[in-house]
Amino acid sequence: MRIQSMKIKGFRNLKGIDLSFEEGIPIHAFVGSNGQGKTNILEAIYLCSLSKSFRTRASGDLVGFEEAFSSVKIDTDEEKLEVIITAKPSQKVLKVNGVKKSATDFIGNLKAVFFSPDDLANMSYAPKLRRRYLDIVLSQLNRGYLVKLMEYNGACKQRNSLLKAISEGRGDTDELDFWDEKLAQLGAYITEERLKLIDQLQTLVSGHYKEISNSSSEVSIVYESEVRGVSPKELCDLYKDGRRRDLMTCQTRLGPHRDDLKFLLADKDMAFFASRGEWRSLVLGLKFAEIDLIKELTGDNPVLLLDDVFSELDAERQKYLFDATGKSQTFITTTHKEFIDGLPTAHKAYKVKEGIVE
């Protein structure tokens, strides 16, 4: 898959971006000082892939100051994608080839892998963001998973609202039966799909880690879940058995929304002993495993988005990243042009200043 052109209007601080990307140039680098709008360009591409930002959940934040709306149009070699966001009222419209689409029908048309220095902290400290990694990969590969994940999240919110109503004397405990059964069916499916993905990623991640770190140490991914291997009926029974506890907190304690990933290096938990360099190697390994898997299952290379990653990587890891970028169309941001001058692959640099791209 390749992005042929991109038009951006009213998006954050960007000023009327209209770019075309030549087929023979796989790497495009946006160079400029911090705060000039480089990352906003990657965010716009990501928006046309996952229908949301990697920085904010509020769509209105993406509309530029004093702008009524923002528009991002991307033409790939397969589809024409567009996201329109209005400021007041805050609304988002998704289009594929000019036709309005739901998020479930929009996501997956442009497959993208995003990597930034924040990923180092996200993977090492935040369970929510480790789960998000799995969900992003699966959502781009399996539209059915995305549909069920959205249904599950909605059902979980409904159950939590009902728990609060019951605890305040405004609801009936018997009303939980419907939501317990629904969550059990969806939750068991989501857990099983995540386990399948981890099994597919395992060998790929371990192989990349060894090459990146120049080490023979094995990396293992462990899916931590209280409902792993539990059938929908068994999970439904667990929800019923845990109602007293859930009513005390007004929260659904069990389910894939509570699960986590653990990474083992030579059978030791990386959370307790891994160095920053080892985490860098792991995160790079995860990202390139994601690329490999998308390529293997879809026959298409995803677009690679690299946000100021060179400053976080030493020379060896930079070289590994450089060598790998030629496989996918890649969009890079950096504050220093010298980071890309030595790239072995054809590339084009753009200067970004105060939202203007040249």
Q: Write the DSSP string, 273-286.
A: H--HHHHHHHHHHH
Q: How far apart are CA 156 and CA 178, in angstroms?
A: 12
Per-residue pLDDT, 256: 95
∠131-54-26 over CA atoms, to 5°?
105
Average pLDDT over residues 46-57: 92
- Tokens representing 26 are 């796989």
Q: What is the pLDDT of residue 309?
A: 81
Indicate if the pLDDT at residue 235 is higher than 90. Answer: yes
CATH numeric code, 124-299: 1.20.1050.90
- What pLDDT is recorded for position 99? 97
> Tens of pLDDT along 253-268?
999 999 999 999 999 9
Average pLDDT across the chain, whole number:
91
Question: pLDDT class for 119, splitting at 50, 70, 90?
Answer: confident
- Please, which pLDDT band fits residue 251 given cuts at 50, 70 and 90? very high
pLDDT of residue 57: 84
User: Would you call 302 exposed, middle or buried from its count of C-beta atoms within 10 A (0-12, 13-18, 19+)?
Assistant: buried
Beta strand pairing call for 112-115 and 99-101: unpaired
**pLDDT by residue (tens digit) across 130-165?**
899 999 999 999 999 999 999 999 999 999 999 999
The domain ranges of the chain are 1-111+301-358, 124-299
Query: 123, 283 in Cβ contact below 8 A?
Result: yes
Would strands 330-334 and 219-224 be described as parallel, antiparallel, or unpaired? unpaired
Residue matched to tokens 């728990």 = 163
CB-side neighbour CA atoms (13 Å) of 17: 34
Largest CA distance in the chain: 67
The per-residue pLDDT for range 71-90, each reduced to its tens digit, is: 999 999 999 999 999 988 88
Q: What is the mean pLDDT of residues 270-292?
A: 88
User: Is pLDDT at 321 greater than 80 in this prediction?
Assistant: no
Query: End-to-end alpha-carbon separation of the chain, Å?
Result: 25
pLDDT of residue 137: 93
Instruction: Characterize 83-98 residue by residue with b for buried, 16 or more Cβ atoms within 10 angstroms of its Cβ, and e for exposed.
Output: bbbbbeeeebebbeee
pLDDT tens digits for range 333-351: 998 887 777 776 788 999 9
What is the percent of the chain where pLDDT is above 90? 67
Average pLDDT over residues 180-199: 96
The pLDDT assigned to 316 comes to 76
User: Who has greater pLDDT, 23 or 159?
Assistant: 159
Are residues 70 and 10 in contact, defined by beta-carbon separation less than 8 angstroms? yes
Band of pLDDT at residue 3, cut at 50, 70 and 90: very high
For 43-72, b/e burial (b = at least 16 CB within 10 A) is bbbbbbbbbbbbeeeebeebbbeebebbbb
- Cβ neighbours, 10 Å, residue 162: 21
pLDDT given for residue 326 in this prediction? 62
**Domain topology for 1-111+301-358:** Rossmann fold (3.40.50)
| Mean pLDDT along residues 310-316 | 74
Cα–Cα distance for residue pair 335/146, rounded to 1 Å: 36
Q: Please tell me the pTM assigned to this model.
A: 0.91
Q: What is the mean pLDDT of residues 28-50?
A: 94
Q: Which amino acid is at 229?
A: G
Question: For residue 206, what pLDDT is reported?
Answer: 92
Between 96-100, 142-146, 325-329, the lowest mean confidence (pLDDT) is in 325-329
For residue 291, the number of C-alpha atoms closer than 13 Å in the C-beta half-sphere is 23
3-state secondary structure of 114: strand
Identify any residues that bridge with 99 across adjacent strands, giving them in sequence order. 96
Would you state the pLDDT for residue 122? 74
Nearest to 345, CA basis, from 304, 311, 291: 304
The answer to which of 55-59, 102-106, 300-304 has the lowest mean pLDDT is: 55-59
Strand partners, 34: none
Three-point CA angle 332, 113, 350, nearest 5°: 15
